Structure formats: C-alpha cells, structure tokens
Amino acid sequence: RIAGKIIKSEMIDSGPRQDHTPILLEIDL
C-alpha cells in the first residue's frame, strides 16, 4: 500500500487560493 510509504505530507501555501491548495508528498520508494 502506497500510503504506508508516505513519510511527509505538507499543504503548500498557494496564497489566496486556499480552495485549490496543492499537496506535497514525499514518498519513500
């Protein structure tokens, strides 16, 4: 399961557009 390999998940501050905030995922492969 790929979810078990995610070591860090961060919400990227995209400024005023909080309704469409990209998510940064660091996956340990």
For 1-29, the pLDDT digits (tens) are 566 666 666 666 656 665 655 666 666 66
pLDDT of residue 9: 64
pLDDT of residue 21: 56
Tell me, what DSSP letter sits at residue 6?
A: E
pLDDT of residue 17: 61
pTM for this one? 0.21
pLDDT of residue 1: 58
- Residue in the structure block whose two tokens are 């919400």: 11
Chain length of the chain: 29
CB of 12 closer than 8 Å to CB of 22? yes
